[in-house]
Amino acid sequence: MDDHSRLYIGTAFVAGVLLTIGFKDLVYPELEQRIHEYLACRQSQPAADSEELSTETLVARPGPPAVVEGIEGCIGNTPLFRIKSLSDATGCEILGKAEFLNGAGQSSKDRVALSMIQIAEEHGFLRPHSGDTIYEGTSGSTGISLASLARAKGYLAHIHSCMPSDQAIEKSNLLLKLGAIVDRVPPAPIVEKDNFVNRARSLAQDQTASSTASGRGFFADQFENEANWRAHYNGTGPEIYAQCNGKLDAFIAGAGTGGTISGVALFLKPRIPNLSVVLADPQGSGLYNRVRYGVMFDLKEREGTRRRRQVDTIVEGIGINRVTANFEAGKELVNDAVRVTDAQALAMARWLVEKDGLFVGSSSAVNCFAAVKTAMKLGPGHRIVTVLSDSGSRHLSRFWAKAGDVGGAVDTKLEDVLNATDATDEE
């Protein structure tokens, strides 16, 4: 570039600046003031201090997360958010732990499945790329998480899932898409060999004992395996504590295996001694009476009244009529229990869609109902955390088929949810 060109460009630049300043009152009335403030701020800072401030500012700014290793790296660190409608209606801050945003099977069971696989590998019970098969008795979500992670960690399609035949069909369909073998077995008490948990255990033992099988069978055993509650002790509990800055009045969760409520309680209680841990229990489950009265019993399960052979509720994933090692691990830290009927769970699920656009599964609806009851008991001004275990998309054929379409509903009152009843509800 020759000297004439440089002179021309320089003159044009200066002219542009002068023109801008000349018209600042018409076009940019605040431009001059902002420029002066910026220059004054810059001039007041020594060069070294300015560099240090710039570095701190960049570090403090929120940004995208670091790159993680594989889909298993997307498990945990789920958001905790204010459920606006429930918080506004109760005067408490009701927060939902969005476990449906876990990155493998999109449920809280991702944490459990990963923990069980990792600990099994550490002890030599599972070996990637060896033909080993993972067996599990599941209502669906744990099997889905195991199937996803088995693929990710080198077990290919080697997962065999046994589940009750009365669970939502979309769960077993998803398992099949993930490459799992699925046995849908009739619901049966745990004392019978055909119970879905006992069948999974037996199949794992058969493969291990086989002289022709290419690998061993591993029974994940989510109900009794302490890797379950440890996943929540090491992950969910610390996350909640950090997200709440240690300020929390109540934690609400249902229990199927009992791993979530036990693991979180075991972490939080020593750090927040006054924390109230509350079990959310569906109808037909004996855990409510186990917490309240120390006895495993439910009216809907008494002899001569059961309409089916398992816990009599449309809610899936929580509720049980036997003691599990995972629930017992933290039982002494559970302060109270709230019984939630099917009608109340359905009404709460509809409310959350109507008011918040939040589409959750059946156990999450039970948890939210219990959170509201706890908020009303504690009074306004308290902070309550509950678990949103999975999305309603896994409950379309049963729970949400019963709940129906929300349609144009906009004016449901919380009292309607709290007082929801069904013709079959017992006093």
pLDDT at 71: 92
Verify whether residue 177 is a known catalytic residue: no
Which of 109, 269, 331, 355 does the annotation list as catalytic? 109
Q: Which tokens in the block code for residue 18?
A: 């002068």
pLDDT score at 211 = 86
Catalogue all structural domains in the chain, each as residue range(s) with its CATH number: 74-105+226-302+311-419 (3.40.50.1100), 108-219 (3.40.50.1100)
Query: What is the pLDDT, as a whole number, of residue 51?
Result: 42
The predicted pLDDT at position 64 comes to 60
- Position 309 scores a pLDDT of 45
- For residue 186, the model assigns a pLDDT of 82
Phi, psi of 416 (to 5 degrees): -65, -35
Tokens of 153: 């960690």
Question: Rounded to two decimals, what is the model's pTM?
Answer: 0.81
What does the pLDDT read at residue 35? 43
Return the amino acid letter for 203: L
One-character DSSP codes across 220-273: --TTT-THHHHHIIIIIHHHHHHHTTT--SEEEE--SSSHHHHHHHHHHHHHST
**pLDDT 10s per residue in the chain (427 long)?**
555 555 454 455 445 544 444 444 444 445 445 545 544 544 444 444 444 434 333 343 455 668 989 999 999 999 999 999 999 999 999 999 999 999 999 999 999 999 999 999 999 999 988 888 899 988 788 989 999 998 888 775 456 667 777 788 888 888 888 888 888 888 888 888 888 888 889 888 988 899 888 888 899 999 999 999 999 999 999 999 999 999 999 999 999 999 999 999 999 999 999 999 999 999 999 999 999 999 886 665 554 444 444 457 999 999 999 889 999 999 999 999 999 999 999 999 999 999 999 999 999 999 999 999 999 999 999 999 999 999 999 999 999 999 999 988 889 999 999 999 975 544 3
Cα(140)–Cα(394) distance, rounded to whole angstroms? Answer: 9
Residue 421, judged by CB atoms within 10 A of its CB (0-12, 13-18, 19+), counts as exposed
